[in-house]
Amino acid sequence: MILRLSIASLFARALTVGMTVLAIALSVALFLGVEKVRTGAKASFADTISGTDLIVGARSGSVQLLLYSVFRIGNATNNVTWESYQDIASRSDVEWIVPISLGDSHRQFRVMGTTTAFFEHYKYRQGRSLAVSDGAIMDDLFDTVIGADVAATLGYSVGDPIVVAHGLASFSEHKDQPFRVSGILEKTGTPVDRTVIVSLEAIEAIHVDWQSGAQVPGQSTPADVIRQMELTPTAITAALVGVESPLQTFALQRAINEYDEEPLLAILPGVALQELWGIVGIAETALLAVSAMVVVTALIGMMATIFSSLNERRREMAIFRAMGARPLTILSMLVLEAMVMAAVGALLGMIILYVGLFIAQPILDSAFGLWLPIDAPSLREVWVILAVICAGAIVSMVPAFRAYRMSVADGMMVKT
């Protein structure tokens, strides 16, 4: 009966209570939304590369290697010689190996030289393979496959010629050997979307007339001559490796790290991703803290609402007292009321979150490659809601205690 009267009392003050509940709902939706984006971003991040057991590159830091080989951020300090690559490739525990050669760019996008094995072995988001949405995988020396963002940003379609620039953000373009777009990849939400992929030989081909980073003056080898040349690279930037059996991963990693001929580094992508996430995690925590503050603000707003309602409800409390309610009953009624508001707010926030997710999911996926799964509320989210209700109860103690003191002082006679 008390609960029913409390709810009836809340309904009687529908406008202010509604505003308070809405504020709590929005703050909870924001908090849970940030949490969703955070876990989604983390998952998307981890989904950038899957199915690869080791990444091999010149010895540097594991995060650095991961950044330049997978995320195309930063540069390699050194290369891996073709001989070392061959050595690793020929090991019996290596099931497959995909060489990657970076260093050139097209407009703002990086060019990556690799083999067709890349399309077979590079996996993202729990083992999904790359797929061509238009055209085909390159089969000519001057063919290129471009990521979805490259095609969308530069307006390329299959058959368009493109010119590759040497180095990054450079004005010296390899004008002699224009490439042709042979295929456009489907959107993946990974850095592949922003990559121009050519064959490993093509990277060699465009550097035929170049020495020490500059074109040899007056020298220009025609394309059909280049086609006749031996275009085996002398070095690559990194390699993706798959092992025969997962058990061999660590042995292979150690073998590569202790390789005598050249200082190399082999990393487990998952471990390096964790390491990287550890760095990014600070911003994530800050974001979470800010949204938690918003929840606290909403609860304090509720406290203010209860406070301001106390005076107009003195008579109501006096009636309760006259009917035999103890001051403690008055206190618990106010706390109960706050808990009802917080609970309704939290649940409404949950609904807002899910409706928002439902609307935003496809947009976020296509715009940012951020896939937010719509799951049943996790245990963590249930805890968040319980925490909000408890915090609401605690916060309401302040006005409730004031009401307690008022009802002791007033008794059943309101002095007006």
Partner 1 sequence: MPKRVLDISNVAYRWPGRAGFSLTVPRLSVAEGESVLLLGESGSGKSTLLSLICGTILPDSGKVCIAATDTSLLSGGARDKFRAEQIGVIFQQFNLLPFGSVLDNILLPLRFAPARRKRAGNAAAEAAALCAALGLPEDTVATKAIALSVGQQQRVAVARALIGHPPLIIADEPTSALDANSQAAFLDLLFSQTTTHQTSLLMVSHDPRLGERFDRVIRMEDIAQIKRAAA
Check binding of 222 to partner 1 (CB under 8 A).
Answer: no
CA dist., res. 73 & res. 318, Å (int): 69
Closest CB to partner 1 among residues 106, 321: 321
Using CB under 8 A as the binding rule, whether residue 18 contacts partner 1 is answered as no
| Shortest CB 317 distance to partner 1, Å | 10
d(CA 94, CA 56): 12
Minimum separation from the CB atom of position 322 to partner 1 (A): 4
Cα torsion 360, 366, 371, 372 to 10°: value is 0
Tell me the closest approach of the beta carbon of residue 316 to partner 1, in angstroms.
Answer: 6
Q: Which of positions 225-244 make contact with partner 1 (CB under 8 A)?
A: none
Strand partners, 68: none
- Tokens standing for 366? 């296509």
Least distance from partner 1 to the Cβ atom of residue 335, Å: 17
Distance CA 416, CA 401 (A): 21
Question: According to the binding rule CB under 8 A, does residue 331 interact with partner 1?
Answer: no
Options 50, 60, 78, 329; binder of partner 1; rule CB under 8 A: 329
| 397 vs 378: CA distance, rounded Å | 29
Binding part of the chain for partner 1, among 318-326, 331-339, 344-352, 392-400 by CB under 8 A, reads: 318-326
Site membership for partner 1, residue 282 (CB under 8 A): no
- The minimum distance between CB 343 and partner 1, in angstroms, equals 19
Binding track, positions 382-411, relative to partner 1; x by CB under 8 A: -----------------------------x
Task: Give every CB contact of residue 325 below 8 A, 6+ residues apart in sequence.
Answer: none
Q: Is 328 in the site for partner 1 (CB under 8 A)?
A: yes
Choose between 258 and 312: whose C-beta lies nearer to partner 1: 312
| Radius of gyration, alpha carbons of the chain | 32
Among residues 9, 78, 215, 248, which is the contact residue for partner 1, using CB under 8 A? 9
Please give the DSSP secondary-structure letter assigned to residue 167: S
Would you say 48 or 407 has its CB closer to partner 1? 407
Q: Which of 15, 323, 376, 379 binds partner 1 (CB under 8 A)?
A: 323
Q: Tell me if 15 contacts partner 1 by CB under 8 A.
A: no
CA distances from 293 to 36, 74, 90, 288 (A): 17, 35, 56, 9
Closest CB to partner 1 among 92 and 416? 416
DSSP 57-111: EESS-HHHHHHHHTS--S--SS-EEHHHHHHHHTSTTEEEEEEEEEEEEETTEEE
Asked if residue 310 binds partner 1 (CB under 8 A), the reply is: no
Q: What angle, 0 to 180 degrees and rounded to 10, lies between the N-to-C axes of helices 14-46 and 2-12?
A: 100
Give the binding site for partner 1 (CB under 8 A): 1-2, 4-5, 8-9, 11-12, 315-316, 319-329, 411-413
